[in-house]
Structure 1
Amino acid sequence: MKHLSFYFRLAVAVAAVVTLSGCGEKKSSSKVSGDALSVSVEHPQVRSVMIHKSYPGYTYANAKADIVGRVNGTILTRPYSGGDYVAKGTVLFTIDPSQYADAVRQAEAALATANSQYEYASRQYEAMKLALESDAVSAMDVVQARSNMEQARASIKRSEAALADSRTNLSYCTVRAPFAGRMSGATLDPGAYVSGGGAPVTLATIYDDSKIVVVFNVEDSQYQHVLATQADNDTIYNNIPVSFPDEGNSVYSAALTYTAPAIDKSTGTFTLKASIPNTRGLLRDGMYVTVNLPVGVVDNAVLVKDSSIGTDQLGNYVYTVSDSNTVVYTPIKTGELFEDSLRIVTDGISKDSRYVTSAMLKVRDGMRVNPVTSNAGVK
């Protein structure tokens, strides 16, 4: 019995040791293990930033003109092709000038006749005045001679006007570019007859797209913010970001050039225009754009890396790390992109938060991690 009692006490002691050893292991497991995933974290940057509001708009060529035929006749030549860039004064169409050249010659002959008649009538008038001094003619004869001279002078003016008109019509037979620009396709080809004598006939359209004008509308209430911002920093309106979805969201800088003098009462908006130099020649009349208009400054804006923001069915979120080094799924509300890589956060985190910037696909809510701070934020 003594031997049994000894073995029983030994077994109890061993069990107690095992139990205490198990409790110790459980307690130590509550600490961050050396095997915990290391993740980079940062504090949000806090800066004063210019905020923008997006407005839809459309582009217009700097200048646009219809190329028209103003005389009747057959088109003889069309030296350009649709889409060509042409210089100012380039010949675009020639219309058969035969009848108009004849009209010019006839008008020149009529003018020569009128000049000759005037020369004769003026000499006769001078002679009549001398004859009147010797009573060889009556005063009425002198009056008649003067009238004939004045009629001949008027005939010269009519002939000059007719000659100028015929020369103008002849000049219309050669249709030239009014300014440098890009040509549309022609509505009529060589051999077609133009009936432009009664009313001009559109033959093509030319676009000066050396710079593009963006037209968009701003609400009356928002425009007041624009005015206040412009008063503080006018230079920002010389570099308004404009994106082109048709160009892969390419971003250009536009300068504000026009503000409508009155509000459109039917829409409650102001019309604004901005100009973009078309240096690469890629922009065209009629393109849809998004204008990111500066509307004010936000002091102490909270900024995080845009690449650290995730999106799910509930919206945008970041992973933050708590004081106990636990990953926390944190929904946020975001604003616009800033300096191409930072996103404004309007709600969800503060400047003191730590958010995960690496291993985004490896972390999950409630996970214990080993955070490595890569910056202290800008405060």
Structure 2
Amino acid sequence: MGPKTGFAVAALVLAPLAACGGKSESQEQQQQAQAGPPQVSVLTVQPQTVTLTTVLPGRTTAYETSEVRPQVSGLVTARLFTEGDTVREGQPLYRIDPQPYQAQVASARASLARARASIASSAALQRRYGELVKINAIARQDFENAVTTAEQARADVAAQQAAVRTAQIDLARTTIRAPISGRIGRSVTTTGALVSAAQTNALTTIQRLDPIYVDVSQSSADLLKLRQQLAAGDLSRGGQAARVQLRLEDGSVYPIEGKLQFADVSVDPNTGTQTIRALFPNPKGLLLPGMYVRAELVQGTQAGAILVPLRAVTRDERGNPTVMVVGQDGKLQPRNLTAPRTIGDNWLVTAGLKPGDKVVMEGAMMLRPGMPVKAVPYNPNAAPAQGQGQGQPQGQQAAGK
């Protein structure tokens, strides 16, 4: 067989193979054309009313705090409470040796009796001199001296009455009582200790824990923006005080909702923040002073808000949020968004979308902008079809096979 004969045979062999390959590619194109445009799941954007919240770290603070100190000096003879218990206002806590103060009360009463006796004699002398001066039996000066003496005696009685009252007050203070109701802490002073009315160390501390305060700090710029939104009508509180919810240190939610009390009138120049105080009922004593909590403040409600699920939003090379939208012509269109915050599992979109837009939720992973697609309503409860990837159309999967 010559060279020409070999080339002819090879050409005859390759021709059917080339024909078979061309037929396969044509069949694939026909299959893709018959399958139609890729199917994507879309969510139609609808405006809705949402509640805007902000989460801030904070600390719990007792509603009332009283450091118990002695108001008289002496030896502590008894402690009359159990540490950690709840005490009532006016309940006895300590007893100081009362004997020196009992003696002071007795001395003040004796001085009062002496002053009252002096008043009787000076008053009688004034009456006698008053009769004698009328007939010029005594000098006018003697009568005036008698009047002055009687007035001094009456003043001495008033002074001694005040001394008796002061001594009685000091005697009553030998029993140290609770100035407020609340939980009492540990006792720093024990029986037999010498205490002084001028001492700076507290004997114990009482804290009222029901209700209880929660103090959080928020940027003054954020508060200013919130006030501007409320004034412009973008947010509404319905005429009610802002509600607050707590998350505890273990992540659990405190079961009782609180109310915002006030924002501090000054801004911390070092941090640029204002202190916000909320009030929470604490009937079971679950919240204790000094606990770290996260307060979720309800800022208000916004009508006509547009929410887009987090899973539908991606980021471009500059980090800006984008979504794919099915346009009126049935083709994919990218949209840049302005989404300043999240609400639950959604982005709050303030620019880039309008009501009625169809945001692609599934099926566009492998597609390019401008491609025609078939939009079907997104069903979050529907499982993906078996053998179909989330971002691949059916035609591409058939070609891959």
**For 2:359, what is the secondary structure of its paired residue?**
coil
**For 1:202, what is the secondary structure of its paired residue?**
coil
1:375 maps to which residue? none
After superposition, where does 1:253-292 map in structure 2 within 5 Å?
253-265=257-269, 267-292=271-296
Sort the Cα spacing of 1:366 and 1:319 in 2 relative to 1 into closer, same or farther, 3 A: farther
Q: How far off its partner does 1:188 sit?
A: 0.9
Between the aligned partners of 1:61 and 1:321, the Cα distance in structure 2 is 53
Q: Is the 8 A contact 2:60 2:289 kept in 1?
A: yes
Q: Is the 8 A contact 1:75 1:95 kept in 2?
A: yes
Structure 1 residue 222 and structure 2 residue 247: aligned? no
RMSD: 4.7
**Equivalent in 353, 360, 371 of residue 359 of structure 2:** 353
Between the aligned partners of 1:61 and 1:247, the Cα distance in structure 2 is 21
After superposition, where does 1:29-108 map in structure 2 within 5 Å?
46-108=47-109
Query: Letter of the aligned partner of 1:273 in structure 2?
Result: R
2:208 maps to which residue? 208
1:128 maps to which residue? 129
**For 2:288, what is the secondary structure of its paired residue?**
coil
Q: Which structure has the highest strand share of the two?
A: 1
Between the aligned partners of 2:325 and 2:269, the Cα distance in structure 1 is 52
Between the aligned partners of 2:92 and 2:163, the Cα distance in structure 1 is 26
Between the aligned partners of 2:138 and 2:23, the Cα distance in structure 1 is 156
Q: How far off its partner does 1:234 sit?
A: 4.2
Structure 1 residue 145 and structure 2 residue 146: aligned? yes
CA deviations 1:210-259 (Å, max 9, x no partner) are: 22223334444333333244455344762433433425342553323224
Query: Letter of the aligned partner of 1:355 in structure 2?
Result: M
Q: Is the 8 A contact 1:229 1:296 kept in 2?
A: no
Q: Is the 8 A contact 2:242 2:299 kept in 1?
A: no
Query: Letter of the aligned partner of 1:246 in structure 2?
Result: E
Q: Is the 8 A contact 1:318 1:355 kept in 2?
A: no
Q: Is the 8 A contact 1:242 1:289 kept in 2?
A: no
Sort the Cα spacing of 1:337 and 1:284 in 2 relative to 1 into closer, same or farther, 3 A: farther
Between the aligned partners of 1:292 and 1:19, the Cα distance in structure 2 is 66
Identity of aligned residues (%): 25
Between the aligned partners of 1:333 and 1:288, the Cα distance in structure 2 is 33
1:326 maps to which residue? none
After superposition, where does 1:287-298 map in structure 2 within 5 Å?
287-294=291-298
TM-score w.r.t. the length of structure 2 is: 0.68
Query: Letter of the aligned partner of 2:247 in structure 1?
Result: F
Between the aligned partners of 2:313 and 2:286, the Cα distance in structure 1 is 34
Q: Is the 8 A contact 1:240 1:291 kept in 2?
A: no
Structure 1 residue 238 and structure 2 residue 263: aligned? no
Between the aligned partners of 1:290 and 1:274, the Cα distance in structure 2 is 12
Q: How far off its partner does 1:130 sit?
A: 1.5
Between the aligned partners of 1:337 and 1:21, the Cα distance in structure 2 is 50
Query: Letter of the aligned partner of 2:92 in structure 1?
Result: V
Q: How far off its partner does 1:160 sit?
A: 1.7
After superposition, where does 1:150-229 map in structure 2 within 5 Å?
150-196=151-197, 198-199=198-199, 201-229=201-229
Q: How far off its partner does 1:66 sit?
A: 0.9
Between the aligned partners of 2:107 and 2:34, the Cα distance in structure 1 is 111
Sort the Cα spacing of 1:310 and 1:65 in 2 relative to 1 into closer, same or farther, 3 A: farther
Between the aligned partners of 1:22 and 1:263, the Cα distance in structure 2 is 73
Query: Letter of the aligned partner of 1:63 in structure 2?
Result: E
Sort the Cα spacing of 1:160 and 1:247 in 2 relative to 1 into closer, same or farther, 3 A: farther
Q: How far off its partner does 1:153 sit?
A: 1.8
Q: Is the 8 A contact 2:61 2:213 kept in 1?
A: yes
Between the aligned partners of 2:246 and 2:338, the Cα distance in structure 1 is 23
Between the aligned partners of 2:339 and 2:98, the Cα distance in structure 1 is 68
Query: Letter of the aligned partner of 2:104 in structure 1?
Result: A
Between the aligned partners of 1:103 and 1:258, the Cα distance in structure 2 is 49
Q: Is the 8 A contact 1:70 1:201 kept in 2?
A: no
Between the aligned partners of 2:323 and 2:226, the Cα distance in structure 1 is 36
Between the aligned partners of 2:110 and 2:195, the Cα distance in structure 1 is 28
**For 1:70, what is the secondary structure of its paired residue?**
coil
Q: How far off its partner does 1:69 sit?
A: 1.1
Q: Is the 8 A contact 1:195 1:201 kept in 2?
A: no
Q: Which range is displaced more, 55-64 or 17-26?
A: 17-26
Query: Letter of the aligned partner of 1:210 in structure 2?
Result: D
Sort the Cα spacing of 1:76 and 1:98 in 2 relative to 1 into closer, same or farther, 3 A: same
Query: Letter of the aligned partner of 1:112 in structure 2?
Result: A
**For 1:238, what is the secondary structure of its paired residue?**
coil
**For 1:256, what is the secondary structure of its paired residue?**
strand
**For 1:161, what is the secondary structure of its paired residue?**
helix
After superposition, where does 1:293-332 map in structure 2 within 5 Å?
293-294=297-298, 300-303=304-307
2:119 maps to which residue? 118
CA deviations 1:258-279 (Å, max 9, x no partner) are: 2444445555444433222224
Query: Letter of the aligned partner of 1:79 in structure 2?
Result: L
**For 2:136, what is the secondary structure of its paired residue?**
coil
Q: Is the 8 A contact 2:57 2:295 kept in 1?
A: yes
TM-score w.r.t. the length of structure 1 is: 0.72
CA deviations 1:326-370 (Å, max 9, x no partner) are: xxxx999976664xx54335499965224363559x98653458x
Between the aligned partners of 1:249 and 1:204, the Cα distance in structure 2 is 32
Q: Which range is displaced more, 238-247 or 184-193?
A: 238-247
